[in-house]
Amino acid sequence: MVNKKLFTVVLVALAIVVLVGLRLKFYIQSPDVILLIDRAGAQWIKYDAEFELDAKPSSQTKSEFKYTFNTNKKIDDATIYMQALKIAQVSFDGRTIFFLKDKFDQWKRMHQIKIPFTVEAGFHEIIISVISENSHPAVMAYSEALHVSTGKDWLASEDGKRWRMAVTASQIKEAAISRQFPSSVDALIKILPSLVLVFTVVLIIVLFAPGQKDREKTFYSWMPEPSQVRWVLLLLWAAVSFNNMLKLNFQVGPDIWGHIEYIDYIVAKGSLPLFPEGWQMFHPPLNYILSAPLYALLIKWLDLPSVVKMMGIIPVICGLLQIEIVYRTARLVFTERKDLQIIAIVAGSLIPVHTYVCQYVGNEPLVAFFISLVIFLCISLVVPNPQERTYGYFFLLGFIWGLALLSKMTAILLAPVLVFVVVFHTRLVKKPLKYSLRPIMIIFCVSILIAGWYYLRNYIMLGNPFPGVFDALQVMQWWQDPGYRTLSQLLSFGQALSWPVYAGVTSFWGMFYSTLWLDGLNSGVADFIPWNINFMNAGALLALLPSLFMITAMIAALLNKDIKYRNALIFSMAMIALFLAAMIDMYMACPVYSRTKAGYTLGLLPCYALLIAAGAEPFLRYRITRAVVIALFICWAFAAYSAYFVVRFQ
């Protein structure tokens, strides 16, 4: 049995390694992936320009790079190795020695440029002119014979007249507007009095309340039932949503006018659009079909800003349903631990990405609801001692997954998860492996019946079932900074802990953190903050506690086999890892700052909640640490709720 498990783990690990290796090879070789990798001591360099948040129309850009050097001896047969983003002309002492014209798809080729004359002793000048397309021009060059390599000592110019020191491509500036908002430290100081009050009250209550000795049960006899906490949070969340529907500016929301255009198209023409017909029309239609009747009714009586505000009712309902799913998932996993159920419910309800994404028109809340529901059904299959499910259960699973696929293409990521879960469930109920085939077929056949027609329609009419996703660069008619990717963007954390607003422009992890624990991209609005800025930015530091809980839960799940809810934690970790891998892949393929954000993982809300609750458990075992940790956790929850309760009419 152990050997079979070990063999399975090794097989899965090898498959992952092979897939990752093939994908890395694609990143390195494909001209469509703008990945800049330094080599031979030379660095990719670019013109030192300010980071711009606005989208730019599809266009060509040009920069020149200059370097002056001195050699003490004659050099024959010197060679310059050069790679440019994307075409380049190289001049040496005023003489053109290389020119590549109109071959944008060959930019990843390393060119060997032989200098066709003897380089005399003395001073010399190299000028490299680079033309790029939908990106900033950049170049990497080196010559061992000349002892020359690109770096910060080169000059760069956009017009060939005004020169400034070049910067390395890995040096991506933060958006200047980020410093116009308070830092997380300043914001935390400003709200500290209210947090101290909350902390003190909670600390006293928890520290001096009568406890129970049995750690497997609730700590306090007076502790409310998780179901009661659920109802309180539903009411609080509904209150903030209703308040914001009245007060929030109608323009808040990324790509909001693209979503409204999609809905208006259905209402006006009575049919579904194709991708080329609009900005956001590559999305599956379910969210817009559900929104169309309400839009058609409201637009007859109200002005457009009022209609846009009221259209947020569908995301709000989806957000409320997700809270219910988190509650039921927590009750399923932490059967005998009401304290952990309550922590999971609070965490899942108040994670900022859940709050702010559901306050305006968009398709993310609907697909997140369906994905969360699929996750709940999957977890019920992998918990210890599950009951054997009938075929009707798998029919329901396929039906909900089909609705998710009809809401957004993100749901395609669930395909391998569903296969694995069904196989794992079959083993848990001690059935032969062949018994998993029929449930898998039911799930996939039902989902195809629900959503397959849409993807077949895309394939027939556009030649691609997933337009706008896997061919993002080809179909986009605009681009954003930075316009390329470097390894540092994947390995660094950026400014998310200090200057969190727009911190994600410098790194993937900064983007994920700043959009999970606060609205780090400002919901697509650049000229003002729609939320309570001090509470929001302080969340970057306050969120270190739930982040620590998640890390603790992951470590415990991997090392401690005796945890009763270990299967659910490992499943949650795998789901987060899967979505992160997909986001990283999209991040590499489409080098615009707004392409990947934590909102795409909104469907993983039950997973986040379970990990936070499980990670809190080790800190709850002793009275003092329990009191401090719960007080700090409530401070985070208080700030997270306060951040998105709009105070003034906008």
Q: Which amino acid is at 33?
A: V
According to DSSP, residue 334 is labeled S
Q: Give the tens place of pLDDT for each residue, 575-606.
A: 999 999 999 999 998 888 887 899 999 999 99
Asked if pLDDT for residue 404 goes beyond 80, the answer is yes
CA 410 to chain centre: 12
Q: Which amino acid is at 429?
A: V
Q: Give the tens place of pLDDT for each residue, 266-284.
A: 999 999 999 888 888 999 9
CA angle 17/21/23 to nearest 5° reads 120
Asked if pLDDT for residue 475 goes beyond 60, the answer is no
List the one residue out of 408, 409, 437, 406 whose CA is nearest residue 423: 437
CA 643 to chain centre: 21
* Cβ atoms within 10 Å, residue 19: 11
What's the alpha-carbon Rg for the chain, to the nearest Å?
28
Asked if pLDDT for residue 22 goes beyond 90, the answer is no
Query: What pLDDT does residue 218 have?
Result: 45
Query: What pLDDT does residue 222 have?
Result: 63
Domain boundaries of the chain, sorted by first residue? 45-169, 177-471+483-643
Asked if pLDDT for residue 472 goes beyond 80, the answer is no
Asked if pLDDT for residue 215 goes beyond 50, the answer is no
Mean pLDDT of 346-358: 97
Q: Pairing mode, if any, of strands 35-36 and 485-486?
A: parallel
Asked if pLDDT for residue 346 goes beyond 80, the answer is yes
User: What's the rounded Cα separation, in Å, for the pair 447 and 128?
Assistant: 54
At residue 77, the 3 state secondary structure works out as coil
Asked if pLDDT for residue 477 goes beyond 60, the answer is yes
Asked if pLDDT for residue 193 goes beyond 80, the answer is yes
Query: What pLDDT does residue 12 have?
Result: 74
Query: What pLDDT does residue 473 have?
Result: 52
C-alpha distance from residue 411 to each of 283, 537, 578, 601 (Å):
12, 31, 12, 11
CA 81 to chain centre: 37
Query: What pLDDT does residue 336 have?
Result: 87
Burial environment of residue 447 by CB neighbours within 10 A (0 to 12, 13 to 18, 19 or more)? buried
Asked if pLDDT for residue 403 goes beyond 70, the answer is yes
Mean pLDDT of 641-650: 93
Query: What pLDDT does residue 217 have?
Result: 47
Query: What pLDDT does residue 592 have?
Result: 86
Q: Give the tens place of pLDDT for each residue, 501-541.
A: 998 888 999 999 999 999 999 998 877 889 999 999 999 99
Give the whole-number percent of the chain exceeding pLDDT 70. Answer: 95
45-169: CATH class: mainly beta
What sign results for the dihedral spanned by CA atoms 475, 480, 484, 485?
A: negative
For the chain, what is the mean pLDDT?
Answer: 91
Cα dihedral: 37, 21, 132, 38 (round 10): 10
Mean pLDDT of 64-84: 93
Cβ atoms of 339 and 224 closer than 8 Å: no
C-alpha distance from residue 541 to each of 182, 183, 442, 493 (Å):
13, 10, 46, 14
Q: Report the range out of 208-212, 250-254, 301-305, 399-403 with the highest average pLDDT.
A: 399-403
DSSP secondary structure string for all residues of 211-258: B-S-TTS-SBTTPPPHHHHHHHHHHHHHHHHHHHHHHS-TT-STTHHH
Asked if pLDDT for residue 192 goes beyond 80, the answer is yes
Query: What pLDDT does residue 45 have?
Result: 96
* Cβ atoms within 10 Å, residue 415: 14
Contacts of 288 by beta carbon, 8 Å cutoff, 6+ apart: 259, 262, 263, 266, 363
Mean pLDDT of 193-221: 75
Cβ atoms of 33 and 25 closer than 8 Å: no
Find the helix packing angle between 364-382 and 566-589, rounded to 10°. Answer: 140
- Whole-prediction pTM: 0.93
Asked if pLDDT for residue 105 goes beyond 90, the answer is no
User: What's the rounded Cα separation, in Å, for the pair 302 and 605?
Assistant: 34
User: What's the rounded Cα separation, in Å, for the pair 75 and 559?
Assistant: 61
Asked if pLDDT for residue 6 goes beyond 70, the answer is no
Asked if pLDDT for residue 3 goes beyond 70, the answer is no
Query: What pLDDT does residue 216 have?
Result: 43
Contacts of 459 by beta carbon, 8 Å cutoff, 6+ apart: 465
Mean pLDDT of 281-297: 95
User: What's the rounded Cα separation, in Å, for the pair 172 and 491?
Assistant: 13
